[in-house]
Structure 1
Amino acid sequence: GSSGSSGPATDWLSAETFESDLDETRVPEVPSSLHVRPLVTSIVVSWTPPENQNIVVRGYAIGYGIGSPHAQTIKVDYKQRYYTIENLDPSSHYVITLKAFNNVGEGIPLYESAVTRPHTSGPSSG
């Protein structure tokens, strides 16, 4: 319920975003790049931010899963440029998605797939 609103609701029309010139009226654009480096039980994900720096990016949403990126979702800070997905299964085909988001919503995702390495105990004999 919107009860107890003080003052006229039209004030926001004249209010300029003086604190920053960044635009948060639309979702962020797609990140510039996405790189995955599969290990045995983890995948190192690194990326670069969207080329359009004028739209606010609050953070990045990383989705991953075997065959589908919707099994798990991790949200990281907008300052981060890499993340290590851990506790994975060896020799499994993971799909990773990365999208930037802000208060408006989530942008277009980038997709990458990676196959984790087979589990080897000790020196490989063969």
Structure 2
Amino acid sequence: MNYESTYFRVYQCFMMTSVTVHFTRVVLLTCLFFTPCESEPTEENQPPPPAYIDVTSYPTKLHVRWGQPLDTSILVRGYKLGYGILYPDREILQLSNTTTDHVISNLQPDAQYVIRLRAFNKKDEGFSLYETVYTLQDSSARTTKPPEVLRTPLQLRAVIKSATSALLSWIDMEQGCCDGRHYQFIYKANYPANQKWIDVNTTDLTYALNGLQPYTLYEFKVRMIRDDAISDWSFTTVNKTSKQVRVVQILS
């Protein structure tokens, strides 16, 4: 007995014997197709950044909205929302992984705030999104940025001088302007994780930084500030302090 399968409702038989009674039978076969189940999100890697961030300003509050990370294969435990005048993370709020907006209250009117948002899980914190906004003087709501953005300092260098010190230097393309400008640089150790940035202000183009940890990788960034105007952060510069040399005195 021969069997043939087809997806069509009309089928033509060939090679049949003449003057012979043939019997045919049609059987309907139902096929079930299954799609593979999606794997559960894991925490083997740090979470990706939120999809976007949007901030609406009011006189004494900021309404922050964001989108959940596009990569759903990595588990997100929650979000950390940092904010502060001219510098983020002066205050840090920890929010649930289902939260996609938050209102920051009790702020100063007509002040510049820097917002930092990142997701986190058991592995680490993810890449941060930054937003710089001004609170308003009146009751009208708007999304705003500083009216003037200064030129970002260039060629930030961190030259290691010893196991605990480094010399920072950068270039101001508008050097020579006597307009009350100053520079703010921030730095932190690369390890252990979740280190907070430390900020330093100076009016010079160089700064001797002391009190570092020996044989430690550090990250550095700098920006310019003048009255209410502020530049973007420079590119991050990294360097590693040297090992601590121990001097052993041998008594004769």
| TM class, shorter-length | 0.7 to 0.9
CA–CA distance in structure 1, aligned partners of residues 65 and 116 of structure 2: 11
Shift of residue 21, structure 1, vs aligned partner: 1.4
Residue matched to 1:105: 124
Deviation of the 1:81 alpha carbon: 0.6
> Mapping of 1:46-125 within 5 angstroms?
46-119=65-138
State yes or no: 1:26 paired with 2:45: yes
Q: Which runs of 5+ in 1 are unaligned?
A: 1-19, 121-126
Aligned length: 101
Give the letter for the 1:105 counterpart: D
Distance 2:70 2:89 in 1: 25
Larger radius of gyration: 2
- The gaps in structure 2 that reach 5 residues or longer are 1-38, 140-252
Aligned partner of 1:38 in structure 2 is: 57
With normalisation by structure 2, the TM-score equals: 0.39
**Which runs of at least 4 in structure 1 moved beyond 6 Å after TM superposition?**
none
CA-to-aligned-CA distance 1:78-110 (integer Å, 9 cap, x gap): 001100001100000000010000111100000
Which residue pairs with 1:5 in the alignment? none
> Which digits, 9 at most, give the CA deviation of each residue in 1:15-54, with x for residues without a partner?
xxxxx61121111001110000011100000000111011
Identity of aligned residues (%): 36
TM-score, normalization by structure 1: 0.77
Q: Take 1:34 and 1:119, find their aligned partners in 2: how far apart are those partners?
A: 24
Q: Secondary structure at the match of 2:48?
A: coil
Q: Distance in 2 between matches of 1:21 and 1:82?
A: 25
Deviation of residue 70 (structure 1)?
Answer: 1.8
